[in-house]
Amino acid sequence: MKNWKYSVSSTDTAPSTAPLLLLGTVEDNLRAAKQMGYDAIEIHTREDEDLDIDSIRRTMQESGMKISAIVTGRLNTEGRCDLMSDEPYIARICIECMKRYVDLAAELDTDLILGWVRGRIPAGGSRKKYMDRLARNLKVVDSYAGEKHVRIMIEVINRYEINTFNTAEEVMTFLEQHDLPNCYAHLDVFHMGIDEEDPYEAIRRCGSRLGYFHLADNSRKYPGTGQIDFYRMLQALEEINYEGYLSVECLPWPNHLEAAQKALAYMKKTEQQKGA
């Protein structure tokens, strides 16, 4: 039976509508996740956050925990930056801020998740024009990330939130068309349940280029509360020999800690059924 690595989403503070489960300092969240049985935490933070890197490293070493990824979304939601902006100065600032994220990821021996920072194609805009611009700007970040041994995970997000990379096919076609050796596909079960015709085939389509995987049920609550067949998800991931993290990013229902605990318990139970 495969030994899966589990991570859980974390941040300093967040509204109850955000799919983030552990709230507090990075160090406190590492300890809390360890106590629950997780292997790592996923950090949602800004690129200019004043984190105590030495303290975080000590806590990781003492606990045996890892940081599975750093999420860059706040650069867009708070910083209003994206990589396909029509304003050249915004795109340039976004690239520089992404480099700061890369530096942070390198210091913490982890990878980056690229979600909303990629940008949105404006109404009536030429898809080719904006996707070509994204590719040009992303190549700069990709090259810098390669020098720092950091990978970039391009997240597939549903069409109601953004209008680029809504399916695994779209991400994989983009990666195959452009020279982005340090970029990988990132799938999220919740988003897959909206836009993928066959979520299990989406996993197979990514194959060895799948770098990260988010867990949540179709309601975006913790796994086991909805209609998703996580047994088949694990089967498909095992088929492609996925070696990355399974990271829980779901709504804090009925509360933050209970959601994190029940998510892991359900996935462990599913593993046992698969082994049987």
Nearest residue to 9 via CA among 261, 255, 249 = 249
Over range 188-194, report the average pLDDT.
Answer: 97
Q: What pLDDT, on the 0 to 100 scale, is given for residue 273?
A: 84
Mean pLDDT of the chain: 96
State the number of CA atoms in the 13 A half-sphere of 100 facing the CB.
15
Task: Please state which CATH number belongs to domain 5-275.
Answer: 3.20.20.150
| Each residue's pLDDT tens digit, 93-118 | 999 999 999 999 999 999 999 999 99
Three-state DSSP at 89 gives: helix
> What pTM was computed for the model?
0.96
Any idea where the domains of the chain sit in the sequence?
A: 5-275
pLDDT at 220 over 90: yes
Q: What is the mean pLDDT of residues 236-245?
A: 97
**What percentage of the chain carries pLDDT values higher than 90?**
97
The pLDDT, as a whole number, for residue 274 is 61
Tens digits of residue pLDDT in 2-42: 889 999 999 999 999 999 999 999 999 999 999 999 999 99
Q: What is the spatial distance between Cα 240 and Cα 125, in angstroms, rounded to a whole number?
A: 36
What percent of the chain clears pLDDT 70, i.e. is strictly above it? 99
Encoded tokens for 252: 């804090």
Residues 6+ apart with CB under 8 A from 3: none
- DSSP 8-state class, residue 208: G
Query: By the 8 A CB rule, do 260 and 21 touch?
Result: yes
